Structure 1
């Protein structure tokens, strides 16, 4: 249910509505919007830098204190408040928009670490792919509900419609607030709360546990290798999440109804990808599933980049007169399948390779790899598009997925799972 709830923020604020609103209306440096795109990438990169700084320490602290749920609740409230305040941003109020995006996206992103750390507690390792896929699939269904309502009720992103579309912030906040309540009512924290020893503080314990884990991380060889791959794949995914609908508006030049069709297409295919590949993963293993999803990503990026070329080929070979914006829907279908399946498979594979008792800490490293990647990917694309334009900058994304695939080749799932199962917490007393 938390996956169901938080997709309202990702889609409405980062992907579909507010990102487009920020670049074209709030900054509004048309016709190419290069400054708006760059400022958007800088705001997101700054928020992910905060997650990179805080995530692993918070993970170590919450593992020790058994307070993951409290930290999750704090991130949830901060996301809701900062997102609701986006209503007050006016065209030209760039600083306020940037500050609120940094705060809200930081809170949302670190909350992803906290909720993911519960995954190893929800079932046996063989079932984690299915459980993760089901959660991610429900997330895309939640995003579909939230964004469909927004597009139907609030309308298009335009200066003429600004007084209505500005309500996207409060609506995303309200959806997250209500839909995540079942998580806090029924989700149980494993183990008893553990106060700090006399003369110690939680913060000092968190840093010490983090240092111990870093020094021993090479012992978890396969998890360490996987995190390198996760870095590259998440760099590419965050580019797609942050710029896909901006790309459609600026490069493809789609009409409003095609934008709505793309949203529905991506949500449905992403849900199918997450749930379907979760089922496949329980039969062929997490690593192989993860590798297949990376190949899907490469195909999707090539289709996005070559949308005009595919349109010309369809006209020449099939004797049809399709517009590029409709061919772009095909690329969106591939991206949707890749988006849901790769994130679900990657999260589940981390869960398989993570020892119990260190889940929040190791998922903090997972979050660190992902958010450091977001900084690298989003800033990289922002700088490249400032010189080359957004259309050609997408090739940077393809290079990232190729690097992710190559980095994951040495991962041995069976060896890594055995290492995780054999680990024992030296500080455990119950």
Structure 2
């Protein structure tokens, strides 16, 4: 039996708009602007910024650890108490409020910035799992790749709009320009606040569980559900293998998201124009990658499509690490004078294609393998493995760059993506879908 319940186009669009809205936080706060601002201006331990990089890694890791310990239980609460929209709303409001407060973080206010990143990124990361738990209710199993890809693509469009505005009108990240750049937090908060409104207007609460008040009794019932799921884990072997692959793959992805623009500033030494162009390249290629591989998933299957995205990531990391040698080789062979920062844009192109596709396809596979009655709970485990990966990857790279510098630490990502390929060999996609359908079938 294949899942046949479909959402309306308006509901699917409303769901995708949350991806559109929350990319303002990912791009402006974690990847492009505030991470660079925090390490180079707020902490400002020039010339190598090792303390700033380490504190940034630690703040992200603490926030991800909080998601790791809470996500499955919160997912069980959502399924048990029919509370997906209520909890999504709570995470969204906390993210918006704490992001707006980043305006208060001035140079030297290291621990205020640290605390606000921990709070905002914890709420944002929990919201990622919450919104993903709606995916199994939006379409058939074979359509989830396309729907997930559409969400990711719209997300990168949101990132392009929001971060493009900031980069063009707020200027460069520098101590001299701090009074303008400090507005990046309020802008990201306002964008998220307004753009996510269609999600709460048009996405319906799935009819899973019974509407209950969120109190101690609900928490107890959710805990019982969580224990039951853990006892039945052997019924979903393919989902378990997928989670192991996601653990390693997302470790690499979070390293790139957290450090790519810091790498460009500190290792490549790029100009402001190249930084802005890199942002545009990554956003457009990530958008195209999400759409392209979402469509391919319907043709090639999720397992093979996901494997291809991981191979693409390995090629991107090699291009990042060897960009100097690649530049010298091109100049020698073609008799031209390219700059390293210009060739680095090619690495950004590969990274963008990998970024949009791997996350979209991985999320869709979880939706295909997750029983509808436990969708939020199992997407909570998706959040657990994703954020555990972030802790492992980001803190590992943070320590490696402390010892060897940021360039050498990037090679760690190749190992992570290679390890992510190994569990995929034993996954049977049809078996994983069938296991989810058996779990949803009424008892005889």
Distance 1:207 1:425 in 2: 23
Runs of 4 or more, structure 1, over 2 Å off, are none
Query: Equivalent residue for 2:68?
Result: 52
Shift of 1:425: 7.3
User: Residue 307 of structure 1 corresponds to which residue in structure 2?
Assistant: 323
Mapped pair 1:139 → 2:143: no
| Comparing 359-368 and 313-322, the one that deviates more | 313-322
Partner residue of 1:68? 84
Q: TM-score, normalised by structure 1?
A: 0.97
Which residue of the partner structure matches residue 318 of structure 1? 334
1:154 aligns to what?
Answer: 170
Mapped to 2, the partners of 1:191 and 1:381 lie a distance apart of: 42
Q: Is residue 82 of structure 1 aligned with residue 98 of structure 2?
A: yes
Q: Given the alignment of the two structures, is residue 384 of structure 1 paired with residue 400 of structure 2, yes or no?
A: yes
- Of 22, 26, 32, 2:48 maps to 32
Partner of 1:372: 388
Tell me, yes or no, if the aligned pair for 2:103 and 2:184 is still in contact at 8 Å.
yes
Question: SS of the residue aligned with 1:358?
Answer: helix
Residue from 374, 398, 414 that aligns with 1:398: 414
Picking from 345, 360, 371, the partner of 1:344 is 360
What corresponds to 2:313 in structure 1? 297
| 2:293 aligns with one of 277, 301, 309 | 277
User: Which 5+ residue runs of structure 2 have no aligned equivalent?
Assistant: 1-16
What is the number of equivalent residue pairs in this alignment?
426
Q: Which 5+ residue runs of structure 1 have no aligned equivalent?
A: none
* 2:304 matched residue in structure 1: 288
CA drift of 1:316 comes to 1.4
Post-superposition shift, 1:315? Answer: 1.1
For 1:110, the equivalent position in structure 2 comes to: 126
C-alpha distance in 1 between matches for 2:118 and 2:234: 33
Task: State the SS of the aligned residue for 1:423.
Answer: helix
Which of 224, 241, 253 does residue 257 from structure 2 map onto? Answer: 241
In the aligned structure 2, how far is the partner of 1:424 from the partner of 1:123? Answer: 16
User: 1:127 aligns to what?
Assistant: 143
Matched, 1:43 2:51: no
- Report SS of the residue matched to 1:357: helix
Offset of 1:195 from its aligned partner?
5.0
Cα distance between partner residues in 2 of 1:10 and 1:17: 10
Moved more, 173-182 or 401-410: 401-410
Residue matched to 1:333 = 349
Superposed displacement of residue 206, structure 1: 1.4
Distance across 1 between alignment mates of 2:389 and 2:102? 26
CA shift for structure 1 position 424? 3.3
Residue 39 of structure 2 corresponds to 23
Cα distance per residue 1:152-205 (max 9 Å; x no partner): 1111100000000000000000000000000001110011762569x9701111
Give yes or no for the alignment of 1:230 onto 2:246: yes
| CA distance in structure 2 between the partners assigned to 1:218 and 1:170 by the alignment | 46
**TM-score, structure 2 length as denominator?**
0.94
Q: Show the 5 A alignment for 1:122-271.
A: 122-191=138-207, 194-195=210-211, 201-271=217-287
> In structure 1, how many angstroms separate the alpha carbons of the residues matched to 2:186 and 2:211?
37
Aligned counterparts of 1:335 and 1:342: Cα–Cα separation in 2 = 10
**RMSD (Å), alpha carbons:** 1.3
- Offset from partner CA, 1:349-403 (integer Å, 9 cap, x none): 1111111111100100000000000000000000000000001000011110000
2:437 maps to which of 411, 421, 424: 421
User: Using the alignment, how far apart are the partners of 1:319 and 1:299 within structure 2?
Assistant: 25
Task: Find the partner of 1:12 among 7, 11, 28.
Answer: 28
